[in-house]
Amino acid sequence: MNAVVPSAPDGPVEPERLPADRVDALFSKLSSFSNLALAVSGGSDSLCLLVLFDEWRKRTGWQGAAEVLCVDHQLRPESGHEAEFVATNARACGLACTVLRWTGTKPAANLQEAARVARYRLMAARMRDIGAEALVLGHHLDDQAETFLDRLTRGSGVTGLSGMAADEGCGPEGLRLLRPLLSVSKSDLEATLEERGRSWCTDPSNRNPKYKRSRLRAILSLLAEEGLSAERLAQTAANIRRAREALERTADGLVARLITEHPAGPARLEREAYREQPEELRLRLLVYLMARVSGKNSRPRLARLQALDGVLMSGEAKRQTFQGSVFDADASVIRVWKEPGREPPGILTGLAGTGTWDGRYLYRVSTCPVGESDAPLCLGPLMNAPVASREIDWPAGWPKAAFDCAPVLWREGENLTPASAAAVLTIGNSCSSADLNLERMPIQGKLPDNFMDNEDTDEEI
β-strand partners of 348? 379
Beta strands 267-270; 260-261: pairing state? antiparallel
Among 422, 424, 158, 132, which Cα is nearest to 281's? Answer: 158
Residue type, 55: E
Residues 148, 160: Cα–Cα separation, whole Å:
8
Distance of alpha carbon 141 from the chain centroid: 21
Q: Is 247 helix (H, G, I), strand (E, B) or coil?
A: helix
Beta strands 260-261; 134-136: pairing state? unpaired
Residues 371, 433: Cα–Cα separation, whole Å:
9
44 annotated binding-site participant: yes
7 annotated binding-site participant: no
Sheet with strand 430-431: strands edge to edge? 353-357, 361-365, 434-440, 430-431
Q: Are 137 and 182 in contact (CB under 8 A)?
A: no
Sheet with strand 325-329: strands edge to edge? 260-261, 267-270, 333-338, 325-329, 318-322
11 annotated binding-site participant: no
CB atoms within 10 A of CB 211: 14
Residues 446, 256: Cα–Cα separation, whole Å:
17
Q: Are 157 and 451 in contact (CB under 8 A)?
A: yes
Among 24, 18, 97, 76, which Cα is nearest to 202's? Answer: 76
β-strand partners of 381? 407
32 annotated binding-site participant: no
24 annotated binding-site participant: no
28 annotated binding-site participant: no
β-strand partners of 65? 35
For the annotated binding site, the residues are 41-46
Which parts are annotated binding residues for ATP?
41-46
